[in-house]
Chain A
Protein backbone atom coordinates (compact mmCIF):
# COMPACT_ATOMS: atom_id res chain seq x y z
CA UNK A 1 0.00 0.00 0.00
CA UNK A 2 1.07 3.51 -0.58
CA UNK A 3 1.61 5.50 2.59
CA UNK A 4 -0.72 8.37 3.31
CA UNK A 5 2.13 10.77 3.38
CA UNK A 6 5.57 9.91 2.06
CA UNK A 7 7.11 10.62 5.41
CA UNK A 8 4.86 8.22 7.31
CA UNK A 9 6.91 5.03 7.13
CA UNK A 10 10.00 6.89 8.16
CA UNK A 11 8.70 8.40 11.34
CA UNK A 12 7.03 5.12 12.19
CA UNK A 13 10.38 3.47 11.98
CA UNK A 14 12.28 6.33 13.54
CA UNK A 15 12.19 5.27 17.20
CA UNK A 16 13.14 1.75 16.22
CA UNK A 17 15.91 3.03 14.00
CA UNK A 18 17.23 5.31 16.69
CA UNK A 19 17.39 2.61 19.32
CA UNK A 20 18.91 0.14 16.91
CA UNK A 21 21.57 2.62 15.89
CA UNK A 22 22.40 3.52 19.47
CA UNK A 23 22.27 0.13 21.04
CA UNK A 24 23.15 -2.31 18.28
CA UNK A 25 25.11 -0.86 15.41
CA UNK A 26 27.08 1.79 17.26
CA UNK A 27 28.24 -0.76 19.88
CA UNK A 28 29.42 -3.08 17.15
CA UNK A 29 31.50 -0.34 15.55
CA UNK A 30 32.74 0.80 18.95
CA UNK A 31 33.88 -2.72 19.77
CA UNK A 32 35.75 -2.96 16.48
CA UNK A 33 37.43 0.37 17.09
CA UNK A 34 38.37 -0.28 20.70
CA UNK A 35 39.84 -3.63 19.80
CA UNK A 36 42.86 -1.73 18.55
CA UNK A 37 43.42 0.02 21.85
CA UNK A 38 44.60 -0.84 25.31
CA UNK A 39 42.10 0.57 27.77
CA UNK A 40 41.28 -0.03 31.39
CA UNK A 41 38.35 2.38 31.69
CA UNK A 42 40.19 4.40 34.32
CA UNK A 43 42.92 5.95 32.19
CA UNK A 44 42.80 7.17 28.59
CA UNK A 45 42.94 4.51 25.85
CA UNK A 46 46.25 3.79 24.15
CA UNK A 47 46.52 2.73 20.53
CA UNK A 48 48.17 -0.68 20.10
CA UNK A 49 47.24 -1.80 16.59
CA UNK A 50 46.78 -5.55 16.30
CA UNK A 51 48.49 -6.31 19.62
CA UNK A 52 45.30 -7.42 21.29
CA UNK A 53 44.53 -9.94 18.58
CA UNK A 54 48.10 -11.15 18.60
CA UNK A 55 48.12 -11.57 22.36
CA UNK A 56 44.85 -13.46 22.29
CA UNK A 57 46.14 -15.81 19.62
CA UNK A 58 49.55 -16.36 21.19
CA UNK A 59 48.27 -17.03 24.64
CA UNK A 60 45.96 -19.60 23.15
CA UNK A 61 43.08 -17.96 24.89
CA UNK A 62 41.02 -17.52 21.73
CA UNK A 63 41.48 -21.09 20.68
CA UNK A 64 40.71 -22.37 24.18
CA UNK A 65 37.54 -20.34 24.43
CA UNK A 66 36.47 -21.50 20.99
CA UNK A 67 37.11 -25.20 21.57
CA UNK A 68 35.52 -25.14 25.01
CA UNK A 69 32.43 -23.43 23.67
CA UNK A 70 32.31 -25.70 20.65
CA UNK A 71 32.54 -28.84 22.78
CA UNK A 72 29.72 -27.61 24.94
CA UNK A 73 27.70 -26.58 21.95
CA UNK A 74 27.96 -29.87 20.10
CA UNK A 75 26.73 -31.77 23.14
CA UNK A 76 23.94 -29.30 23.82
CA UNK A 77 22.66 -29.10 20.25
CA UNK A 78 22.67 -32.83 19.64
CA UNK A 79 21.37 -33.61 23.09
CA UNK A 80 18.57 -31.09 23.12
CA UNK A 81 17.44 -31.93 19.61
CA UNK A 82 17.47 -35.65 20.18
CA UNK A 83 15.80 -35.37 23.54
CA UNK A 84 13.33 -32.80 22.30
CA UNK A 85 12.38 -34.91 19.32
CA UNK A 86 12.09 -38.06 21.39
CA UNK A 87 9.91 -36.36 23.96
CA UNK A 88 7.78 -34.81 21.24
CA UNK A 89 7.20 -38.16 19.57
CA UNK A 90 6.31 -39.73 22.88
CA UNK A 91 4.10 -36.92 24.10
CA UNK A 92 2.37 -35.88 20.90
CA UNK A 93 -0.97 -37.15 22.02
CA UNK A 94 -4.11 -35.48 23.26
CA UNK A 95 -5.30 -35.61 26.81
CA UNK A 96 -4.62 -33.94 30.10
CA UNK A 97 -1.96 -36.42 31.16
CA UNK A 98 0.33 -35.84 28.20
CA UNK A 99 -0.32 -32.14 28.47
CA UNK A 100 0.68 -32.13 32.12
CA UNK A 101 3.89 -34.01 31.39
CA UNK A 102 4.73 -31.59 28.60
CA UNK A 103 4.10 -28.68 30.93
CA UNK A 104 6.38 -30.16 33.56
CA UNK A 105 9.18 -30.50 31.04
CA UNK A 106 8.65 -27.04 29.60
CA UNK A 107 8.61 -25.39 33.00
CA UNK A 108 12.38 -25.58 33.17
CA UNK A 109 12.53 -23.28 30.15
CA UNK A 110 10.41 -20.66 31.84
CA UNK A 111 12.50 -20.06 34.95
CA UNK A 112 15.71 -18.09 34.90
CA UNK A 113 19.13 -19.53 34.19
CA UNK A 114 20.20 -18.46 37.67
CA UNK A 115 17.39 -20.51 39.08
CA UNK A 116 18.43 -23.60 37.16
CA UNK A 117 22.10 -23.06 37.94
CA UNK A 118 21.59 -22.72 41.68
CA UNK A 119 19.29 -25.72 41.69
CA UNK A 120 21.78 -27.98 39.94
CA UNK A 121 24.68 -26.54 41.92
CA UNK A 122 22.97 -28.07 44.93
CA UNK A 123 21.90 -31.32 43.26
CA UNK A 124 25.37 -31.91 41.81
CA UNK A 125 27.22 -31.01 44.99
CA UNK A 126 29.91 -33.64 45.40
CA UNK A 127 29.37 -34.19 49.11
CA UNK A 128 25.73 -33.55 49.90
CA UNK A 129 23.97 -33.22 46.57
CA UNK A 130 20.94 -35.32 45.76
CA UNK A 131 22.50 -36.91 42.69
CA UNK A 132 25.69 -37.89 44.50
CA UNK A 133 23.79 -39.33 47.45
CA UNK A 134 21.38 -41.26 45.24
CA UNK A 135 24.18 -42.77 43.20
CA UNK A 136 26.06 -43.68 46.32
CA UNK A 137 23.01 -45.39 47.74
CA UNK A 138 22.61 -47.36 44.53
CA UNK A 139 26.27 -48.31 44.65
CA UNK A 140 27.06 -46.58 41.38
CA UNK A 141 30.39 -44.74 41.41
CA UNK A 142 29.97 -41.02 41.41
CA UNK A 143 32.12 -38.27 39.97
CA UNK A 144 32.95 -34.79 41.15
CA UNK A 145 30.50 -33.30 38.69
CA UNK A 146 31.62 -29.71 38.95
CA UNK A 147 35.06 -30.13 40.37
CA UNK A 148 36.63 -32.53 37.92
CA UNK A 149 38.09 -30.60 34.99
CA UNK A 150 37.29 -33.39 32.58
CA UNK A 151 33.68 -33.62 33.63
CA UNK A 152 32.62 -30.11 34.57
CA UNK A 153 31.94 -28.86 31.05
CA UNK A 154 29.70 -31.83 30.32
CA UNK A 155 27.85 -31.34 33.58
CA UNK A 156 27.10 -27.83 32.44
CA UNK A 157 26.02 -29.19 29.06
CA UNK A 158 23.66 -31.55 30.84
CA UNK A 159 22.17 -28.73 32.86
CA UNK A 160 21.70 -26.70 29.68
CA UNK A 161 20.00 -29.60 27.93
CA UNK A 162 17.73 -30.06 30.94
CA UNK A 163 16.62 -26.49 30.63
CA UNK A 164 16.04 -26.26 26.89
CA UNK A 165 14.78 -29.74 26.03
CA UNK A 166 11.28 -28.52 26.78
CA UNK A 167 11.65 -25.75 24.25
CA UNK A 168 12.80 -28.17 21.56
CA UNK A 169 10.01 -30.54 22.48
CA UNK A 170 7.31 -27.90 22.18
CA UNK A 171 8.58 -26.83 18.78
CA UNK A 172 8.74 -30.40 17.55
CA UNK A 173 5.23 -31.08 18.81
CA UNK A 174 3.98 -28.11 16.84
CA UNK A 175 5.86 -29.33 13.82
CA UNK A 176 4.46 -32.82 14.18
CA UNK A 177 0.96 -31.51 14.44
CA UNK A 178 1.41 -29.71 11.17
CA UNK A 179 1.92 -32.96 9.34
CA UNK A 180 -1.32 -34.03 7.69
CA UNK A 181 -2.69 -37.29 8.93
CA UNK A 182 -3.37 -38.51 5.40
CA UNK A 183 0.32 -38.80 4.67
CA UNK A 184 0.72 -41.30 7.48
CA UNK A 185 -2.34 -43.20 6.41
CA UNK A 186 -1.10 -43.34 2.85
CA UNK A 187 2.27 -44.60 3.98
CA UNK A 188 0.69 -47.18 6.23
CA UNK A 189 -1.46 -48.35 3.33
CA UNK A 190 1.74 -48.73 1.34
CA UNK A 191 2.95 -51.12 3.99
CA UNK A 192 5.47 -48.87 5.68
CA UNK A 193 6.26 -49.69 9.32
CA UNK A 194 6.74 -47.12 12.04
CA UNK A 195 10.39 -46.59 11.32
CA UNK A 196 9.87 -46.17 7.58
CA UNK A 197 7.01 -43.81 8.24
CA UNK A 198 9.27 -41.72 10.38
CA UNK A 199 12.00 -41.42 7.82
CA UNK A 200 9.78 -41.04 4.79
CA UNK A 201 7.02 -38.87 6.17
CA UNK A 202 7.86 -37.33 9.52
CA UNK A 203 11.47 -36.36 9.18
CA UNK A 204 11.31 -34.62 5.79
CA UNK A 205 8.39 -32.49 6.91
CA UNK A 206 9.99 -31.86 10.24
CA UNK A 207 13.19 -30.62 8.71
CA UNK A 208 12.32 -26.92 8.84
CA UNK A 209 11.46 -27.26 12.50
CA UNK A 210 14.61 -29.22 13.15
CA UNK A 211 16.60 -26.58 11.32
CA UNK A 212 15.09 -23.91 13.49
CA UNK A 213 15.67 -25.81 16.70
CA UNK A 214 19.20 -26.63 15.66
CA UNK A 215 20.07 -23.07 14.77
CA UNK A 216 18.58 -21.53 17.88
CA UNK A 217 20.11 -24.05 20.24
CA UNK A 218 23.47 -23.59 18.56
CA UNK A 219 23.35 -19.84 19.00
CA UNK A 220 22.02 -20.22 22.54
CA UNK A 221 24.76 -22.65 23.50
CA UNK A 222 27.40 -20.32 22.14
CA UNK A 223 26.05 -17.54 24.30
CA UNK A 224 25.99 -19.57 27.50
CA UNK A 225 27.13 -17.49 30.45
CA UNK A 226 24.84 -17.61 33.47
CA UNK A 227 25.40 -21.25 34.34
CA UNK A 228 29.14 -20.83 34.06
CA UNK A 229 29.17 -17.74 36.22
CA UNK A 230 26.97 -19.20 38.90
CA UNK A 231 28.24 -22.78 38.94
CA UNK A 232 31.92 -22.92 38.07
CA UNK A 233 33.21 -19.39 37.38
CA UNK A 234 35.10 -20.69 34.40
CA UNK A 235 36.90 -23.40 36.31
CA UNK A 236 38.08 -25.88 37.37
CA UNK A 237 41.38 -25.13 35.68
CA UNK A 238 39.57 -23.00 33.10
CA UNK A 239 37.81 -26.05 31.70
CA UNK A 240 34.51 -24.23 31.51
CA UNK A 241 35.74 -20.86 30.31
CA UNK A 242 33.43 -20.39 27.38
CA UNK A 243 33.60 -17.48 24.99
CA UNK A 244 31.27 -15.11 26.77
CA UNK A 245 32.79 -15.91 30.13
CA UNK A 246 36.26 -15.22 28.77
CA UNK A 247 35.03 -11.82 27.55
CA UNK A 248 33.47 -11.11 30.93
CA UNK A 249 36.72 -11.96 32.67
CA UNK A 250 38.79 -9.76 30.41
CA UNK A 251 36.64 -6.80 31.28
CA UNK A 252 35.75 -7.27 34.88
CA UNK A 253 38.68 -9.16 36.29
CA UNK A 254 41.56 -8.11 34.06
CA UNK A 255 40.16 -4.71 33.19
CA UNK A 256 41.40 -4.99 29.63
CA UNK A 257 38.63 -3.45 27.60
CA UNK A 258 40.63 -3.39 24.38
CA UNK A 259 41.45 -7.04 24.52
CA UNK A 260 37.89 -7.87 25.45
CA UNK A 261 36.71 -5.88 22.43
CA UNK A 262 38.98 -7.92 20.20
CA UNK A 263 37.50 -11.04 21.70
CA UNK A 264 34.03 -9.66 21.12
CA UNK A 265 34.77 -9.02 17.46
CA UNK A 266 36.02 -12.56 17.00
CA UNK A 267 32.99 -13.89 18.85
CA UNK A 268 30.66 -11.98 16.57
CA UNK A 269 32.38 -13.26 13.45
CA UNK A 270 32.23 -16.81 14.77
CA UNK A 271 28.51 -16.45 15.48
CA UNK A 272 27.89 -15.12 12.00
CA UNK A 273 29.83 -17.97 10.47
CA UNK A 274 28.02 -20.56 12.53
CA UNK A 275 24.63 -19.17 11.66
CA UNK A 276 25.51 -19.13 7.99
CA UNK A 277 26.83 -22.65 8.27
CA UNK A 278 23.69 -23.86 9.97
CA UNK A 279 21.45 -22.24 7.39
CA UNK A 280 23.48 -23.78 4.62
CA UNK A 281 23.48 -27.20 6.26
CA UNK A 282 19.74 -27.24 6.63
CA UNK A 283 19.07 -25.71 3.25
CA UNK A 284 16.75 -27.00 0.62
CA UNK A 285 13.08 -27.69 0.83
CA UNK A 286 12.09 -31.31 0.99
CA UNK A 287 9.98 -32.51 -1.89
CA UNK A 288 6.33 -31.79 -1.50
CA UNK A 289 6.65 -29.63 1.58
CA UNK A 290 4.46 -26.63 2.00
CA UNK A 291 6.17 -23.29 1.55
Chain B
Protein backbone atom coordinates (compact mmCIF):
# COMPACT_ATOMS: atom_id res chain seq x y z
CA UNK B 1 0.00 0.00 0.00
CA UNK B 2 2.81 2.26 0.93
CA UNK B 3 4.60 1.44 -2.31
CA UNK B 4 1.49 2.32 -4.26
CA UNK B 5 1.29 5.62 -2.46
CA UNK B 6 4.93 6.33 -3.17
CA UNK B 7 4.39 5.61 -6.84
CA UNK B 8 1.42 7.91 -6.85
CA UNK B 9 3.48 10.62 -5.24
CA UNK B 10 6.25 10.15 -7.77
CA UNK B 11 3.68 10.52 -10.52
CA UNK B 12 2.53 13.76 -8.92
CA UNK B 13 6.09 15.04 -8.68
CA UNK B 14 6.58 14.21 -12.35
CA UNK B 15 3.77 16.54 -13.32
CA UNK B 16 6.01 19.30 -12.05
CA UNK B 17 9.35 17.89 -13.10
CA UNK B 18 8.67 16.52 -16.55
CA UNK B 19 7.97 19.87 -18.21
CA UNK B 20 11.35 21.11 -17.05
CA UNK B 21 13.06 18.01 -18.27
CA UNK B 22 11.34 18.47 -21.60
CA UNK B 23 12.49 22.06 -21.71
CA UNK B 24 16.07 21.04 -21.06
CA UNK B 25 15.92 18.28 -23.62
CA UNK B 26 14.52 20.57 -26.29
CA UNK B 27 17.21 23.13 -25.65
CA UNK B 28 19.85 20.57 -26.51
CA UNK B 29 18.35 19.58 -29.83
CA UNK B 30 18.84 21.05 -33.28
CA UNK B 31 16.05 22.54 -35.34
CA UNK B 32 15.92 19.70 -37.88
CA UNK B 33 15.63 17.27 -34.98
CA UNK B 34 12.67 19.13 -33.57
CA UNK B 35 10.90 19.34 -36.89
CA UNK B 36 11.50 15.70 -37.71
CA UNK B 37 10.87 14.10 -34.33
CA UNK B 38 9.36 16.54 -31.87
CA UNK B 39 8.29 13.76 -29.52
CA UNK B 40 11.74 12.33 -28.96
CA UNK B 41 12.32 12.52 -25.22
CA UNK B 42 16.06 12.79 -25.41
CA UNK B 43 18.22 14.82 -27.73
CA UNK B 44 20.44 12.93 -30.13
CA UNK B 45 23.47 14.52 -28.57
CA UNK B 46 24.48 17.46 -26.45
CA UNK B 47 24.03 20.19 -28.97
CA UNK B 48 24.67 23.70 -27.69
CA UNK B 49 23.76 25.53 -30.88
CA UNK B 50 20.62 26.87 -29.31
CA UNK B 51 22.53 28.36 -26.40
CA UNK B 52 25.03 29.92 -28.78
CA UNK B 53 22.14 31.43 -30.69
CA UNK B 54 20.67 32.91 -27.52
CA UNK B 55 23.97 34.50 -26.58
CA UNK B 56 24.34 35.85 -30.09
CA UNK B 57 20.83 37.23 -30.21
CA UNK B 58 21.05 39.41 -27.13
CA UNK B 59 23.49 40.84 -24.60
CA UNK B 60 22.69 38.20 -22.02
CA UNK B 61 25.42 39.24 -19.64
CA UNK B 62 24.08 42.76 -19.50
CA UNK B 63 20.50 41.62 -18.97
CA UNK B 64 21.62 39.27 -16.23
CA UNK B 65 23.58 42.04 -14.56
CA UNK B 66 20.67 44.48 -14.84
CA UNK B 67 18.27 42.02 -13.31
CA UNK B 68 20.56 41.09 -10.44
CA UNK B 69 21.44 44.69 -9.64
CA UNK B 70 17.81 45.64 -9.71
CA UNK B 71 16.68 42.79 -7.46
CA UNK B 72 19.52 43.31 -5.00
CA UNK B 73 18.86 47.02 -4.89
CA UNK B 74 15.18 46.56 -4.24
CA UNK B 75 15.61 43.96 -1.53
CA UNK B 76 18.31 45.94 0.21
CA UNK B 77 16.42 49.21 0.21
CA UNK B 78 13.26 47.50 1.36
CA UNK B 79 15.01 46.09 4.40
CA UNK B 80 16.81 49.32 5.11
CA UNK B 81 13.49 51.16 5.17
CA UNK B 82 11.33 48.51 6.76
CA UNK B 83 13.53 48.14 9.82
CA UNK B 84 13.09 51.64 11.21
CA UNK B 85 9.49 51.81 10.00
CA UNK B 86 8.63 48.48 11.58
CA UNK B 87 10.35 49.50 14.76
CA UNK B 88 8.43 52.75 14.98
CA UNK B 89 5.16 50.97 14.31
CA UNK B 90 5.85 48.19 16.75
CA UNK B 91 7.60 49.81 19.61
CA UNK B 92 7.06 53.53 19.71
CA UNK B 93 3.95 55.31 20.79
CA UNK B 94 3.05 58.34 18.77
CA UNK B 95 0.04 60.07 17.37
CA UNK B 96 -1.21 58.56 14.20
CA UNK B 97 0.43 55.22 14.68
CA UNK B 98 -2.68 53.25 13.82
CA UNK B 99 -3.32 55.40 10.79
CA UNK B 100 0.24 55.02 9.61
CA UNK B 101 0.06 51.28 9.93
CA UNK B 102 -3.27 51.21 8.19
CA UNK B 103 -1.91 53.21 5.30
CA UNK B 104 1.08 50.93 4.92
CA UNK B 105 -1.12 47.86 4.79
CA UNK B 106 -3.57 49.61 2.49
CA UNK B 107 -0.89 49.85 -0.18
CA UNK B 108 -1.10 46.09 -0.54
CA UNK B 109 -4.32 46.81 -2.34
CA UNK B 110 -2.75 49.14 -4.88
CA UNK B 111 -1.03 46.77 -7.31
CA UNK B 112 1.62 47.68 -9.84
CA UNK B 113 -0.87 47.70 -12.69
CA UNK B 114 -2.75 50.55 -11.08
CA UNK B 115 0.39 52.59 -10.46
CA UNK B 116 2.50 52.24 -13.53
CA UNK B 117 1.28 54.97 -15.84
CA UNK B 118 1.44 57.79 -13.30
CA UNK B 119 4.81 56.56 -12.08
CA UNK B 120 6.09 56.41 -15.64
CA UNK B 121 4.90 59.93 -16.37
CA UNK B 122 6.33 61.18 -13.08
CA UNK B 123 9.73 59.65 -13.75
CA UNK B 124 9.72 60.68 -17.39
CA UNK B 125 9.18 64.29 -16.39
CA UNK B 126 12.44 64.22 -14.45
CA UNK B 127 14.28 62.25 -17.08
CA UNK B 128 14.40 59.04 -15.08
CA UNK B 129 12.30 56.83 -17.29
CA UNK B 130 14.13 53.81 -18.64
CA UNK B 131 16.73 53.90 -15.88
CA UNK B 132 17.63 51.58 -13.05
CA UNK B 133 16.10 54.09 -10.65
CA UNK B 134 12.73 53.62 -12.32
CA UNK B 135 13.06 49.92 -11.72
CA UNK B 136 14.21 50.10 -8.12
CA UNK B 137 12.82 53.14 -6.37
CA UNK B 138 9.08 52.51 -6.82
CA UNK B 139 9.58 49.27 -4.91
CA UNK B 140 11.65 50.79 -2.15
CA UNK B 141 8.88 50.24 0.36
CA UNK B 142 7.55 46.78 0.97
CA UNK B 143 4.34 46.74 2.95
CA UNK B 144 4.80 43.04 3.41
CA UNK B 145 8.33 43.51 4.71
CA UNK B 146 7.29 46.28 7.07
CA UNK B 147 4.48 44.13 8.33
CA UNK B 148 6.79 41.15 8.85
CA UNK B 149 9.36 43.16 10.75
CA UNK B 150 6.76 44.84 12.87
CA UNK B 151 5.29 41.49 13.75
CA UNK B 152 8.69 40.05 14.60
CA UNK B 153 9.60 43.04 16.70
CA UNK B 154 6.45 42.82 18.76
CA UNK B 155 7.78 39.71 20.40
CA UNK B 156 11.00 41.43 21.43
CA UNK B 157 10.72 42.53 25.08
CA UNK B 158 10.74 46.27 25.62
CA UNK B 159 13.24 45.84 28.44
CA UNK B 160 15.98 44.98 25.97
CA UNK B 161 15.48 48.22 24.15
CA UNK B 162 15.30 50.24 27.32
CA UNK B 163 18.51 48.69 28.50
CA UNK B 164 20.20 49.59 25.27
CA UNK B 165 18.91 53.13 25.55
CA UNK B 166 20.29 53.44 29.02
CA UNK B 167 23.62 52.28 27.65
CA UNK B 168 23.53 55.37 25.48
CA UNK B 169 22.77 53.75 22.15
CA UNK B 170 21.01 55.93 19.58
CA UNK B 171 17.73 54.74 18.14
CA UNK B 172 19.38 53.99 14.80
CA UNK B 173 22.00 51.87 16.46
CA UNK B 174 19.30 50.04 18.37
CA UNK B 175 17.43 49.27 15.22
CA UNK B 176 20.33 48.26 13.01
CA UNK B 177 22.83 47.13 15.60
CA UNK B 178 20.71 45.37 18.19
CA UNK B 179 17.37 44.41 16.70
CA UNK B 180 18.41 43.55 13.16
CA UNK B 181 20.74 40.76 14.26
CA UNK B 182 17.96 39.35 16.41
CA UNK B 183 15.68 39.32 13.42
CA UNK B 184 18.26 37.74 11.22
CA UNK B 185 16.21 34.70 10.14
CA UNK B 186 13.29 36.92 9.24
CA UNK B 187 15.49 39.34 7.38
CA UNK B 188 17.32 36.67 5.45
CA UNK B 189 14.08 35.02 4.45
CA UNK B 190 12.51 38.26 3.42
CA UNK B 191 15.60 39.34 1.50
CA UNK B 192 15.64 36.12 -0.47
CA UNK B 193 11.95 36.20 -1.10
CA UNK B 194 11.97 39.78 -2.33
CA UNK B 195 15.11 39.20 -4.36
CA UNK B 196 13.62 36.24 -6.20
CA UNK B 197 10.26 37.95 -6.65
CA UNK B 198 11.72 41.04 -8.24
CA UNK B 199 14.35 39.13 -10.20
CA UNK B 200 11.48 37.32 -11.87
CA UNK B 201 9.36 40.41 -12.42
CA UNK B 202 8.18 40.94 -15.97
CA UNK B 203 5.46 43.56 -15.83
CA UNK B 204 7.28 46.48 -14.23
CA UNK B 205 10.42 46.33 -16.40
CA UNK B 206 8.16 45.86 -19.41
CA UNK B 207 6.33 49.10 -18.81
CA UNK B 208 9.23 51.11 -17.43
CA UNK B 209 11.93 50.38 -19.99
CA UNK B 210 11.91 51.43 -23.59
CA UNK B 211 15.17 50.06 -24.94
CA UNK B 212 17.64 47.44 -23.91
CA UNK B 213 20.00 49.48 -21.75
CA UNK B 214 18.30 48.45 -18.50
CA UNK B 215 16.28 45.63 -19.91
CA UNK B 216 15.98 42.67 -17.58
CA UNK B 217 16.39 39.02 -18.36
CA UNK B 218 12.71 37.98 -18.29
CA UNK B 219 11.98 40.64 -20.92
CA UNK B 220 14.90 39.59 -23.05
CA UNK B 221 13.98 35.94 -22.97
CA UNK B 222 10.32 36.66 -23.66
CA UNK B 223 11.40 38.44 -26.84
CA UNK B 224 12.79 35.16 -28.10
CA UNK B 225 9.42 34.00 -29.27
CA UNK B 226 9.79 35.91 -32.50
CA UNK B 227 6.85 35.50 -34.73
CA UNK B 228 6.33 35.36 -38.45
CA UNK B 229 9.06 33.05 -39.59
CA UNK B 230 8.54 30.03 -37.41
CA UNK B 231 9.27 29.87 -33.70
CA UNK B 232 12.62 28.24 -33.08
CA UNK B 233 11.74 26.24 -30.05
CA UNK B 234 15.18 25.02 -29.20
CA UNK B 235 16.36 28.60 -28.92
CA UNK B 236 13.34 29.66 -26.88
CA UNK B 237 13.85 26.73 -24.52
CA UNK B 238 17.57 27.40 -24.21
CA UNK B 239 16.73 30.96 -23.23
CA UNK B 240 14.18 29.63 -20.80
CA UNK B 241 16.73 27.33 -19.18
CA UNK B 242 19.01 30.31 -18.70
CA UNK B 243 16.13 32.31 -17.24
CA UNK B 244 14.92 29.63 -14.83
CA UNK B 245 18.29 28.41 -13.62
CA UNK B 246 19.16 31.26 -11.24
CA UNK B 247 15.82 31.13 -9.42
CA UNK B 248 16.01 27.36 -9.15
CA UNK B 249 19.57 27.61 -7.90
CA UNK B 250 18.61 30.05 -5.18
CA UNK B 251 15.74 27.78 -4.29
CA UNK B 252 17.99 24.73 -4.09
CA UNK B 253 20.50 26.48 -1.89
CA UNK B 254 18.14 28.40 0.36
CA UNK B 255 14.95 26.40 0.34
CA UNK B 256 14.41 26.62 4.07
CA UNK B 257 14.68 30.39 4.14
CA UNK B 258 12.42 30.92 1.18
CA UNK B 259 9.78 28.65 2.59
CA UNK B 260 9.94 30.43 5.89
CA UNK B 261 9.17 33.73 4.18
CA UNK B 262 6.24 32.23 2.33
CA UNK B 263 4.81 30.50 5.35
CA UNK B 264 5.26 33.44 7.67
CA UNK B 265 2.62 35.28 5.72
CA UNK B 266 -0.11 33.17 7.13
CA UNK B 267 -1.81 34.58 10.19
Contacts and interface: CB of A to CB of B under 8 A. Distances in A.
A111 B200 contact: yes
Contacts of A115: 200, 218, 221, 240, 243-244, 247
Interface in B104-162: 104, 107, 109-111, 113-119, 121-122, 137-138, 140-141, 146, 158, 161-162
A257 B6 contact: no
B28 interface: no
Nearest to B40: A133
Contacts of B117: 27, 30-31, 34, 251, 257, 260-261, 264
B179 interface: no
B233 interface: yes
B120 to A, nearest CB: 9
B202 A112 contact: yes
A239 B233 CA distance: 25
Contacts of B97: 9
Q: Chain A contact residues: over half helix, strand or loop, or mixed?
A: helix
B94 A247 contact: no
Contacts of A230: 202, 222, 225
Chain B interface residue count: which class? 35 or more
Nearest to B259: A170
A162 B236 CA distance: 20
Nearest to B23: A119
A2 B262 contact: no
B113 A9 contact: no
Q: Among A100, A114, A225, which residue has the most Cβ atoms of chain B within 10 A? A: A114
Given A87-B12, A122-B237, A107 B259 contact: no
B114 A103 contact: no
Contact of A20 (B9, B104, B202): B104
A101 B225 CA distance: 31
A280 interface: no
B19 A98 contact: no
A28 B200 contact: no
B19 A120 contact: yes
A209 B248 CA distance: 26
A235 interface: no
B225 A16 contact: no
Interface string A171-215: 100110000000000000000000000000000000011001000
Contacts of A225: 113, 202-203
Interface stretch (B44-52, B80-88, B183-191): B80-88
Interface stretch (A58-66, A74-82, A145-153, A266-274): A266-274
B254 to A, nearest CB: 10
Nearest to B170: A4
Contacts, number: 257
Interface in A74-118: 87, 90-91, 97-98, 100-101, 103-115, 117-118
A16 B259 contact: no
Given A167-B262, A208-B266, A111 B113 contact: no
B214 interface: no
B114 to A, nearest CB: 5
B12 A101 contact: yes
A19 to B, nearest CB: 4
Contacts of A16: 81-82, 85, 104, 141, 146
A97 B88 contact: no
Contact of B266 (A162, A212, A261): A212
Interface of B: 5-6, 8-10, 12-13, 15-17, 19-20, 22-23, 26, 34-35, 38-39, 81-82, 84-85, 87-89, 91-94, 97, 100, 103-104, 107, 109-111, 113-119, 121-122, 137-138, 140-141, 146, 158, 161-162, 165, 171, 175, 196, 199-203, 206-207, 218-219, 221-222, 224-225, 233, 236-237, 239-240, 243-244, 247-248, 250-251, 255, 258-259, 262-263, 265-267
